[in-house]
């Protein structure tokens, strides 16, 4: 549980980041998976988080979204503390409703899509529009179709997830998140569960989003994509940020031995 | 030869027994289905607070015979100020006993929904209540219909035990006819046939529901796959 001394700095002193984290840590039992992570994300910035498996990349993203409550530190979305509140100098968990309110600007795409199998592609996209935004079915369908159009899947609107390819499922998941008009998109290894041939179609959609100015945090193993699309790359290992910077610097002149080793392993695997 | 005339003569008792069995089973099963859902939801919503008490309840239901529960309710009730009609004791006995089993059936259904689907709902701002109604229940329904049907059938068959606490159900009235006429085969064969009909009705309804829920996806997918969505 975060301690009182980690309470938020005054709003005025904070930079205008959409997402900001100070000293967040997370433990699963005795295992410390995140250690004292600082993070900030400016509007329209694209940040890729890379690192070996088990380095804490996905946990970081899940803590930033409060899908995993962080143990120490603080996460702010649009200047509002996520998941906790200050009551008489003591920090306590907020209600789930408050978490939803603070987290509203964030959309998330998961490695395994997590589409609802009993709903069609269009219904997957329109469900939250109707339940959360209170749209009529007709309006939600129009909006949903526009979103599916954006990811090139308007012709699959009536299909259930089981009849879609992995790439199509992930594109529906992106459309579903975009339908809620998020200001930030979190991608948790969006292409890791896909056949190599299907990766491109998902990355193309993400590239287009980046080009349109969407603010994004992407946990990925796609180094080529990170090099081309990211404004900043963060390299994590053993729950810590080892190095971060623009992709041109980070990939060509790694400062740490660990990143050098990680990149060499990646190059060997991909050149051989 | 079977004495069909005897059954015709005793039709009043048989129909009364059938009616009592039907309404007591209906209300008992309704109680079991509802209370089971509440117990499973409590256990999943707050395992720390409700996990142990609900688990104890389930274990007690599974570990004790229905007849003992009926005795406790009907004969033991008055000693703690609980005076129940035999029929009401029957309804409560079937309901409380079945709830333990249904709680486990529901829990299995809830657990079968991948956690990620609920996380996706939460990230879209969908409330836990809406996630339950729109995401969890429609999916778990397909999975729990076969074991649920089975459990309902077991409850109806076990309802014959309420005859022991003097409820005039099918079994008790058949025994009354036997005692009055000294004919054993006809009354018991007749009520066996009626129990079988009730259970067949439940089984067929279960199959139909199972088929309907299972077919929803492919049928719609086939229809909509052939012709893109109206809005598309």
Tens-of-pLDDT digits for all 232 residues of chain B?
678 888 888 889 999 999 999 999 999 999 999 999 999 988 888 888 999 999 999 999 889 999 999 999 999 988 998 889 999 999 999 999 999 999 999 999 988 899 999 999 999 999 988 998 899 888 888 889 999 999 999 999 999 999 999 999 999 999 999 999 998 889 999 999 999 999 999 999 999 998 888 766 544 444 444 333 333 2
Could you tell me the two tokens for B15? 């129909």
Q: How far is CA A176 from CA A219, B94, B141, B194, in A?
A: 19, 45, 24, 52
A189: contact with B, CB 8 A cutoff: no
Question: Scanning the structure block, which residue is given the tokens 């329109």?
Answer: A126
Mean pLDDT, to the nearest integer, of A243-247? Answer: 94
At residue B217, the pLDDT reads 53
At residue A272, the pLDDT reads 56
Mean pLDDT, to the nearest integer, of A2-6? Answer: 46
Total domains in the fold of chain A: 1
B136 contacts on A by Cβ (under 8 Å):
none
Tens-digit pLDDT profile for residues A84-108: 998 888 889 999 899 999 999 999 9
Q: Are β-strands A72-77 and A31-41 bridged in parallel, bridged antiparallel, or unpaired?
A: unpaired
Reference B190, options B1, B4, B52; nearest CA is B4
Q: Is the pLDDT of residue A10 over 50?
A: no
Q: Give me the half-sphere count of Cα atoms (radius 13 Å) on the Cβ side of residue B82.
A: 13
Q: Is position A154 within any domain?
A: yes
Could you tell me the two tokens for B184? 């054993």
At residue B82, the pLDDT reads 87
Q: Is position A43 within any domain?
A: no
Q: Is the pLDDT of residue A4 over 70?
A: no
Question: Scanning the structure block, which residue is given the tokens 């600007």?
Answer: A105
Structural domain including A164 reads 116-182
At residue A14, the pLDDT reads 45
A115 contacts on B by Cβ (under 8 Å):
117, 120
Tell me the pTM: 0.79
Nearest CB to B229: which of A118, A158, A180? Answer: A158
A137: contact with B, CB 8 A cutoff: no
Put simply, the answer to whether A158 touches B127 (Cβ < 8 Å) is no
Q: Which secondary structure element, helix H or strand E, spans residue B150, and what is its range?
A: helix B137-158
A134: contact with B, CB 8 A cutoff: no
Q: Is position A199 within any domain?
A: no
Q: Is the pLDDT of residue A3 over 80?
A: no
Q: Is position A51 within any domain?
A: no
Nearest CB to A118: which of B217, B229, B231? Answer: B217
Long-range contacts of A3-7 (CB under 8 A, 24+ apart): A3/A72, A3/A91, A4/A86, A4/A89, A4/A90, A4/A91, A6/A72, A6/A73, A6/A74, A6/A91, A7/A74, A7/A86, A7/A89, A7/A91
CB-based contact A244:A234 (threshold 8 Å): yes
Closest chain A residue by Cα to residue B222: A159
Rounded (10°) CA dihedral A78, A82, A86, A92: 180
Q: Taking CA B22 as the corner, what is the angle to CA B16 and CA B23, rounded to the nearest 5 degrees?
A: 95
CB-based contact A34:A47 (threshold 8 Å): no
Mean pLDDT, to the nearest integer, of A34-63? Answer: 95
Q: Is position A245 within any domain?
A: no
Nearest CB to A155: which of B126, B216, B228? Answer: B228
How many percent of chain A have pLDDT more than 90?
Answer: 81
Tens-digit pLDDT profile for residues A111-122: 999 999 999 999
Q: Are β-strands A84-87 and A90-93 bridged in parallel, bridged antiparallel, or unpaired?
A: antiparallel
Q: Is position A127 within any domain?
A: yes
Residue B129 burial by Cβ neighbours in a 10 Å radius (0-12, 13-18, 19+)? exposed
Is the CATH number 1.10.3720.10 carried by domain B14-215? Answer: yes
Mean pLDDT, to the nearest integer, of A199-222? Answer: 93
Q: Taking CA A249 as the corner, what is the angle to CA A244 and CA A253, rounded to the nearest 5 degrees?
A: 100
């Amino acid at each position: 549980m975060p301690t009182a001394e980690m309470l938020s700095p005054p709003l005025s002193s904070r930079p205008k980041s959409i997402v900001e984290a100070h000293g967040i840590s997370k433990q699963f039992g005795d295992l410390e998976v995140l250690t004292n992570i600082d993070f900030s994300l400016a509007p329209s910035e694209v940040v890729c988080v890379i690192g070996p498996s088990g380095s804490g990349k996905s946990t970081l993203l899940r803590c930033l979204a409060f899908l995993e409550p962080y143990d120490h530190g603080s996460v702010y979305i649009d200047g509002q503390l996520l998941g906790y509140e200050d009551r008489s100098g003591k920090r306590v968990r907020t209600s789930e409703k408050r978490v939803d309110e603070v987290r509203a600007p964030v959309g998330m795409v998961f490695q395994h899509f997590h589409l609802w199998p009993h709903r069609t592609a269009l219904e997957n996209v329109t469900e939250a529009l109707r339940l959360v935004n209170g749209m009529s079915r007709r309006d939600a369908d129009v909006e949903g179709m526009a979103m599916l159009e954006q990811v090139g899947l308007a012709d699959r609107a009536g299909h259930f997830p089981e009849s879609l390819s992995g790439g199509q499922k992930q594109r529906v998941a992106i459309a579903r998140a975009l339908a809620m008009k998020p200001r930030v998109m979190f991608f948790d290894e969006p292409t890791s569960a896909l056949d190599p041939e299907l990766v491109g179609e998902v990355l193309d959609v993400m590239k287009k989003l980046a080009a349109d100015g969407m603010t994004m945090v992407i946990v990925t193993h796609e180094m080529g994509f990170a090099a081309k699309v990211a404004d900043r790359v963060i390299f994590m290992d053993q729950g810590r940020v080892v190095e971060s910077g623009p992709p041109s610097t980070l990939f060509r002149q790694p400062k740490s031995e660990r990143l050098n080793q990680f990149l060499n392993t990646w190059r060997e695997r991909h050149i051989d | 030869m079977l004495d069909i005339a005897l059954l015709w003569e005793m039709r009043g008792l048989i129909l009364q027994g059938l009616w009592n069995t039907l309404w007591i089973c209906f209300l008992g099963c309704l109680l079991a289905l509802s209370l089971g859902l509440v117990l499973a939801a409590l256990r999943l919503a707050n395992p720390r607070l409700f996990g142990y008490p609900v688990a104890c309840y389930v274990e007690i239901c599974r570990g004790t015979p229905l007849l003992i529960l009926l005795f406790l309710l009907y004969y033991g009730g008055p000693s703690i100020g609980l005076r129940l009609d035999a029929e009401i004791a029957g309804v409560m006995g079937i309901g409380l006993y079945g709830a333990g089993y249904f709680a486990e059936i529901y829990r299995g259904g809830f657990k079968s929904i991948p956690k990620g689907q609920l996380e996706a709902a939460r990230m879209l701002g969908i409330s836990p209540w809406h996630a339950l109604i729109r995401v969890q229940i429609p999916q778990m329904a397909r999975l729990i219909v076969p074991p649920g049907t089975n459990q309902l059938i077991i409850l109806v068959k076990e309802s014959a035990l309420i005859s022991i606490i003097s409820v005039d159900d099918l079994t008790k009235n058949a025994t009354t006819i036997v005692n009055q006429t000294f004919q054993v085969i006809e009354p018991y064969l007749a009520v066996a046939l009626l129990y079988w009909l009730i259970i067949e009705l439940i089984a067929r309804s279960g199959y139909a529901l199972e088929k309907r829920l299972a077919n929803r996806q492919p049928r719609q997918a086939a229809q909509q796959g052939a012709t893109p969505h109206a809005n598309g």
